[in-house]
Amino acid sequence: MALDILRDRVGGILIAAISGRLDNESAPDFELFAQESVAGGERHIVLDLSELGYISNAGVRTLASLSKSLNTPSTSLRLAGVQPTVRQILDAAGVAVLLTMFPSRAAALDNHPASGGENYAKLMMELLKIEPVAEQAATPAEVKLAELAFDLLAGKQHAPRAARAIAQGTQVMRRVSAGDIAAGSAAGKAAKPAPAPVKKRSFWQRLFGRK
């Protein structure tokens, strides 16, 4: 019987339902799945083994390798619904003590730190009395800036050109036209009081120091 892997997701957890036989023939397929999952950024995996009827030494090695890859404070591997025959093989191989096993998928997901990130965030906002902010649709200018930034990161557009476009788009100061300058100058002249005219003195007044 071939090995089947059905994927599902709950929050930040990848759930993989393994059915069939994890033997010498199918172990490479499971190993490929494990490597691609970890390399793809999966940090929490639940393996539902309720339909797995047999596991060979090769399968045990791949399972132990995946467990080692996810054995960090920020990662986890949980096994759910392990059948008695599979559990006996894991015990005999001496790896059962290194694996976290639960009787069912629901039990493995219960109280999992990565299963309800949205619920935790909602609870935290309620405790801190923070009102959720309504999402606003992005403006065409913001969409254009995002596209330019993506092109710049992806190398699809010449860097100086994209950077210049982003700088121009994010400039918050309104451009001032010549009309604005003229209007401001006229307003300033109107607001400032005109100076009093200076009375010119005659030559004799300046000579004898008279005003």
What is the share, in percent, of the chain residues with pLDDT greater than 90?
A: 45
| Domain coordinates in residue numbering, the chain | 4-117, 140-169
Q: Does residue 55 contact residue 86 with C-beta atoms inside 8 Å?
A: yes
Q: Does residue 101 contact residue 71 with C-beta atoms inside 8 Å?
A: no
**Neighbouring residues of 80: CB distance < 8 A, sequence distance ≥ 6:** 46, 47, 48, 49, 50, 101, 102, 103, 104, 105, 107, 108
Alpha helices by DSSP H, the chain: 27-39, 57-69, 84-93, 105-109, 117-127, 140-154, 159-169, 178-191, 203-207
Number of H helices, E strands in the chain: 9, 5
CA 58 to centroid of chain Cα atoms: 36
**Which residues does residue 13 pair with via DSSP β-bridges, in sequence order?**
10
Measured distance CA(16)–CA(13) in Å, rounded: 10
Structure-model confidence comparison of residues 166 and 41, the more confident one:
41
What three-state secondary structure class fits 89? helix
CA 141 to centroid of chain Cα atoms: 22
Q: Does residue 30 contact residue 5 with C-beta atoms inside 8 Å?
A: yes
Asked if residue 14 has pLDDT above 70, the reply is yes
Return the H-helix or E-strand segment holding 129.
none
pLDDT score recorded for residue 97:
85
**pTM of the predicted structure, to 2 decimals:** 0.56
pLDDT score recorded for residue 122:
53
What three-state secondary structure class fits 139? coil
Q: Which CATH superfamily is domain 4-117 in?
A: STAS domain (3.30.750.24)
Asked if residue 98 has pLDDT above 70, the reply is yes
pLDDT score recorded for residue 6:
96
